[in-house]
Amino acid sequence: MTNQPSLLDRLLSTDRSRTLLVQRLVLGLIIFPHGAQKLLGWFGGFGYSGTMGFFTDAMHFPAPLAFLIIVAESIGAIALVLGAGTRVAALGIAAVMLGAIFTTHIHVGFFMNWLGAQSGEGFEYHLVVLALALPLAVRGAGALALDGIVAERLRSRATPILQPGRA
C-alpha cells in the first residue's frame, strides 16, 4: 500500500528554494500595482466598477471572467507575496497574461510602445510575467512561504502513530 499525497498536499508542497522565493516576490510586487489599479483605483486605475465596465462593455468579456482577472491580479499578487496558494495564484496570473496577449496585444507585435509610435503595447512584458509565473505554478512557492508551513503541518497530522512493520 503506497501512501499517496493528498491533492491539498500536492497543491501546497514546495521546497525551500530561494530562487522560487525571489521569483514569487518579484512577480507579486510587479503584478500588485496592476491589480490595485483594477480593484482599488490606485496608481491611476479605474477601480472595481470602472474596470468591470471596461471589461464587460468595451472588451465584451463575460462578467465572471472580468471578476477573475481583477482577483488574479490583486488578491493573487498578495497571495504570491505571502506564498499562500502560490500555484493557483501563479496559474491565474499566467492565464490573465495569455488572455491579454491573444485578446489585446498580439496585433501590435512583440515590442512595448517605448516611443509612442505604435497603436498599443506589444506582448514582451506578458512573456516575462509568464516566465516568472509558470515555474511557480509547477514547482511551488519556495522558501518562506505559508504554503510550505501549511503542507508540513498537514503532513505531520496525517502521519500515523503506529506504522505497519515498525515495532
CA-to-CA separations, 148 to 44, 57, 141, in angstroms, rounded: 35, 41, 8
Dihedral sign from CA coordinates of 22, 26, 29, 32: negative
Averaged pLDDT for residues 141-153:
94
Average pLDDT, the chain: 92
Residue 154: pLDDT band (50, 70, 90) is confident
Closest C-alpha among 24, 7, 6 to residue 15: 24
Q: What is the pLDDT of residues 92-109, one digit of tens each?
A: 999 999 999 999 999 999
Q: Which residues contact 140 (CB under 8 A, 6 or more apart)?
A: 12, 13, 14, 15, 20, 86, 87, 147, 148
Q: What is the pLDDT of residues 56-91, one digit of tens each?
A: 999 999 999 999 999 999 999 999 999 999 999 999
pLDDT on residue 3 = 67
Residue by residue, DSSP assigns 138-152 as HH---SS-HHHHHHH
Q: Confirm if 30 and 81 have CB atoms less than 8 A apart.
A: no
